[in-house]
Chains A and B, each alone.
Chain A
């Protein structure tokens, strides 16, 4: 499979679009279907596809294992941190209204927690994939 030209070029062509689609799903989640979970999986799908065509070493150069493993707790930290901001400002946990004025504060809060979700989901999905693949070696 390593020498299949069509597959390799086809994958190279499609990879940026997968990433673009992931970002679209992430940032357009307020207006259309989508959000951190879906975007996270799509981003991870990009890495998995890369590993399928170019081998896991290439994939791990783009998304090193140490990095994706750190992303797993990092996302939860971003999410919970957004919540703790509410606590520190004297409001309830996850009360986004402290982040700004009116509905904008809420929008900002939603943006932050969706980012947290994206990080954790993408990190976890890649880590899971790596864990399974490396077990087979």
Chain B
């Protein structure tokens, strides 16, 4: 609960922060907090991923970008009303949707009754892997993971395509 509250505080800080460097560092803090929350929620694999991929890698990339663009100040806000309204409508929609959901941590929720349990019961028998997240990731739903690897591949080639080669001033 404390962690969750801290998350909210960090987001407010990011909102108000005018220095770009500050924003980037805060986003790193944010990622590590999320990773801690995820551990509390039993999602250790996800937490490790968020800490390495989310916090580590995107922080490195953000800082490299800052180094390249050499801008540190953010201009003051633009008109606020429309974005604020949009964001709140989305939030309200989720509130409305989640109020009727099963309470937190209840074992009777539908997701614990269908599909999920089979992985827990059969993982060792069928795949010999006790870490169920790994067996689902790399076997039961391994096609998703192939897609995910392809996403990384796409981003890698894409970024190199954009950043490699001689730079040309705006062609026009």
**A/B touching: CB–CB < 8 A:** yes
Query: CB within 8 Å of B: which residues of A?
Result: 25, 29-35, 37-38, 41-42, 44-45, 48, 69, 72-73, 75-76, 79-80, 83, 93-94, 96, 103-104, 106-107, 109-110, 113-114, 116-117, 120-121, 123-125, 127-129, 131-136
Bound Cα distance A29, B61 (Å): 26
23 contacts between A and B (CB under 8 A): A31-B130, A33-B44, A37-B52, A37-B53, A38-B52, A44-B57, A45-B56, A73-B153, A83-B143, A94-B143, A107-B128, A107-B129, A110-B129, A110-B139, A120-B149, A121-B152, A124-B153, A128-B156, A128-B159, A131-B164, A132-B67, A135-B167, A136-B64
The interface residues of chain B lying within 8 Å CB-to-CB of A25 are: 48
Bound Cα distance A125, B64 (Å): 13
Q: Is there contact, CB below 8 Å, between B56 and A41?
A: yes
Q: How far is the CB of B74 from chain A (nearest CB, A)?
A: 21
Q: Flag B140-171 by CB within 8 Å of A: 1 or 0 each.
A: 00110110011011011101100110010000
Q: Which of B47, B67, B127, B167 gathers the greatest number of chain A CB atoms within 10 Å?
A: B127
Q: Is there contact, CB below 8 Å, between B134 and A35?
A: yes
B interface, how many residues as a size bin? 35 or more
Q: Is there contact, CB below 8 Å, between B138 and A114?
A: yes
Q: Is there contact, CB below 8 Å, between B150 and A72?
A: no
